[in-house]
Chains A and B, each alone.
Chain A
Amino acid sequence: GQSLEQPSEVTAVEGAIVQINCTYQTSGFYGLSWYQQHDGGAPTFLSYNALDGLEETGRFSSFLSRSDSYGYLLLQELQMKDSASYFCAEGNDKIIFGKGTRLHILP
């Protein structure tokens, strides 16, 4: 089966850096995706890691370690608009999401 674990909530200060972790257990791992969802909205794709290492997309970066079954999303120069829920997901045909991490940003 597949399972992904994320912290339920994280709080950070505007302008700071925050890391959202995701650990996974799966019988056949393809890669780790990240999605953002604002309250009342639909999830939107942020990034994907198939190989170990860091992928950078602007203020957002995502990291994967296959040997540790672990990944994280790194958000830099936090802005109030980054307040949202963040989900990791994995799978090929059957894509499973974690329960999500709600990011609170303090001014």
Chain B
Amino acid sequence: NAGVTQTPKFQVLKTGQSMTLQCAQDMNHEYMSWYRQDPGMGLRLIHYSVGAGITDQGEVPNGYNVSRSTTEDFPLRLLSAAPSQTSVYFCASSYGSGGDQPQHFGDGTRLSIL
């Protein structure tokens, strides 16, 4: 099994550009989430989804959109990139919601915005 696959692994954008970070999982997990990680800030939740067709906002949703049209895919869209969005982005999935369900993380996308 591939687990959680994130693409691209690295990306450089210019301010104002838009892009989509891809996330796919092959474990038939219902729950998926997106986090960003900045030095000294830990992992901050951007958006999450408890199942196909259902999404909700996390701690830092501004500037990001998500959709969940299938169980497997959970793309994250940056609408108009800003330097403050330079970060490492992690996608995660778990069988269900709840802290007792181990979240499986992808390898991350390292995004730089100039």
**Interface, chain A (partner B; CB < 8 A):** 8, 30-33, 35, 41-45, 48, 50, 87, 89-100
Q: B99 contacts A94, CB within 8 Å? A: no
Q: A87 contacts B102, CB within 8 Å? A: no
**Interface, chain B (partner A; CB < 8 A):** 31, 33, 35, 40-45, 48, 50, 56, 58-59, 90, 92, 97-100, 102-108
Contacts of B43 in A (CB 8 A): 43, 87, 89, 97, 100
B20 to chain A, nearest CB (A): 20
Q: B42 contacts A97, CB within 8 Å? A: yes
Contacts of B98 in A (CB 8 A): 30-31, 92
Q: A8 contacts B56, CB within 8 Å? A: no
B96 to chain A, nearest CB (A): 10
Q: B48 contacts A99, CB within 8 Å? A: no
Q: B106 contacts A89, CB within 8 Å? A: no
Q: A30 contacts B99, CB within 8 Å? A: yes
Given A42-B108, A43-B43, A99-B41: A92 touches B97 (CB 8 Å cut-off): yes
Q: A90 contacts B58, CB within 8 Å? A: no
6 CB contacts below 8 A, A to B, read A31-B100, A43-B105, A50-B99, A89-B99, A93-B31, A95-B33
Query: A39 CA to B37 CA in the complex, in Å?
Result: 12
